[in-house]
Amino acid sequence: MPLMDEAIAFAHENRESALNELIELLAIPSVSTLPEHAGDVLRAGEWLAERLRALGMENIDIMPTPGHPVVYADWLHAPGKPTVLVYGHYDVQPADPFDEWDTPPFEPTVRGDNLYARGASDMKGQIFAQIKALEAITKHGDPPVNIKYMLEGEEEVGSPNLGEFVRANKELLQCDFVLNCDSGIQGPELPGIVCGLRGLAYFELEVRGPDHDLHSGFFGGSIRNPLNELCRLIAGMHDAQGHVTLPGFYDRVKTLSEDERVDLAKLPHPDSDHLAMTGSPALWGEAGYTTIERTGARPALDVNGIIGGFTGDGSKTVLPSKAMAKISMRLVPDQRGDDIRACLEAYLQANAPDTVTWEIRELAHGDPAITDRDSEPVRKAIEALKTVWGVEPVFKREGGSIPVVSLLQQELGVDTVMLGFALPTDGIHGPNEKQYIPNFYRGIETYIRYLYSL
């Protein structure tokens, strides 16, 4: 049997143990944004490093950063073959609201064809499928390419230390292209390649009024309530057409060409399906654009949370002294994370009254990215997907963000192939996140075929 077929057969025979090992990884609550989980984040990184060691990877290193570490490993004994940098992240988003989970987020549970756990789809299921593919390959021979791993623990907080890490380790990370497993496909039976990601700029906006909470009877109507004012400011950030009103916000947004619009319109993503995934009463968005354009090719501004005043049971009559909102903006080419703070500041300078004071804190930002659709590594990924699924794969510009993609384009001049198997219906970042198990297995096979095809 050819080596590749042996590897595929091995992966097939060992499906169950692969799933059980994934369950072990998912039980580690590696929530990068919560300081109390820092030890768990490290443990998840160590767990992966151990797996890489077991399959013969070399130079395994858990490299510190000012935040969570980067796990590095390589195997570079395929002279004349390309060098692939495999990217993944082992951190996850917080699991709340906990009471909306049918089974606890860090007690991975199989129900039907799905494995439920925080991080199952985003992205422990994807990076582990890739590692299992390499394991199956190494059972029968050497890897067919040179391979490096860079697994980070801070993607879900915007990769704040990865820029410095990459700049300090350019030599180590040198490669022909990046295989980014933090990706998805369009449907259980519709494979594809992500060829664009939105960027992100994330801020806290704090509005302050009186220097302590006030009785809303003595003072209500005479002092500006910062919570009212924060809400008014937020409301003004969109106009009636759904456009963002921050000055200069659209200055660098690339106009969609007719060709691109025709391309996007071909994606089988009916509005009814999009709406059904959300449980919302109706669609909403920027006038003049389709749903797929709104999420893939147009920027967006969202409030992620608001804190302020009394939120306990019952009523308390209080005029709060301050209020805070967490506001994020999804960016598209050629917007730059660096420029967005000035747009927000200009808006607040023009619109905030002198009855309150305000302050913004920048939490994270990452640039948008467009990846090549015609390179050889992309064509081969399309081939592998087509072989495993038996249908023609599609290209999609994704609305989510992965800061490393533009970072590696800018710092190393290398492009990325986005190949992963998350589904739009997996509920990533929400309650009851799941990995569709058949695609975990098909993912392993795809990665095996892909590596051999290089």
Binding residues (CB under 6 A) for ligand BES: these are 122-123, 155-156, 158, 182-184, 194, 200, 364, 366, 398, 400-403, 422
Of 182 and 433, which CB lies nearer to Mn ion in the complex structure? Answer: 182
Contact 122, 180 (CB under 8 A): no
Of 123 and 175, which CB lies nearer to Mn ion in the complex structure? Answer: 123
Q: Tell me the closest approach of the beta carbon of residue 42 to ligand BES, in angstroms.
A: 19
In angstroms, rounded to a whole number, what is the distance separating the alpha carbons of residues 298 and 451?
34
Of 37 and 380, which CB lies nearer to Mn ion in the complex structure? Answer: 37
Q: Tell me the closest approach of the beta carbon of residue 160 to ligand BES, in angstroms.
A: 9
Of 133 and 422, which CB lies nearer to ligand BES in the complex structure? Answer: 422
Partner in contact with 364, chosen from ligand BES, Mn ion, none, beta carbon below 5 to 8 Å by kind = ligand BES
Coil/strand/helix, residue 377: helix
Of 285 and 427, which CB lies nearer to ligand BES in the complex structure? Answer: 427
Coil/strand/helix, residue 224: coil
Of 76 and 363, which CB lies nearer to Mn ion in the complex structure? Answer: 363
Partner in contact with 52, chosen from Mn ion, ligand BES, none, beta carbon below 5 to 8 Å by kind = none
Q: Could you list the residues that contact Mn ion (CB under 5 A)?
A: 122-123, 182
DSSP string for 199-216? EEEEEEEEEE-SSS-EET
The residue number with the shortest CB distance to ligand BES is 400
Of 333 and 366, which CB lies nearer to ligand BES in the complex structure? Answer: 366
Q: Tell me the closest approach of the beta carbon of residue 422 to Mn ion, in angstroms.
A: 8
Coil/strand/helix, residue 99: helix
Contact 301, 294 (CB under 8 A): no
Q: What is the CA radius of gyration of the chain?
A: 23
In angstroms, rounded to a whole number, what is the distance separating the alpha carbons of residues 242 and 222?
33
Report the DSSP beta bridge partners of residue 367. Answer: none
Contact 214, 318 (CB under 8 A): yes
DSSP state of 36: G
Please report which helix (H) or strand (E) contains residue 279, including its range: none
In angstroms, rounded to a whole number, what is the distance separating the alpha carbons of residues 265 and 292?
8
Q: Tell me the closest approach of the beta carbon of residue 33 to ligand BES, in angstroms.
A: 9
Q: Tell me the closest approach of the beta carbon of residue 200 to ligand BES, in angstroms.
A: 4
Contact 163, 407 (CB under 8 A): yes
Q: Which amino acid is at 111?
A: R
Of 49 and 123, which CB lies nearer to Mn ion in the complex structure? Answer: 123
In angstroms, rounded to a whole number, what is the distance separating the alpha carbons of residues 437 and 115?
6
Q: Tell me the closest approach of the beta carbon of residue 400 to ligand BES, in angstroms.
A: 3
Partner in contact with 426, chosen from ligand BES, Mn ion, none, beta carbon below 5 to 8 Å by kind = none
Q: Tell me the closest approach of the beta carbon of residue 197 to ligand BES, in angstroms.
A: 6
DSSP state of 313: S
Q: Tell me the closest approach of the beta carbon of residue 228 to ligand BES, in angstroms.
A: 29
CA dist list (Å): 262 to 253, 273, 434: 19, 20, 32
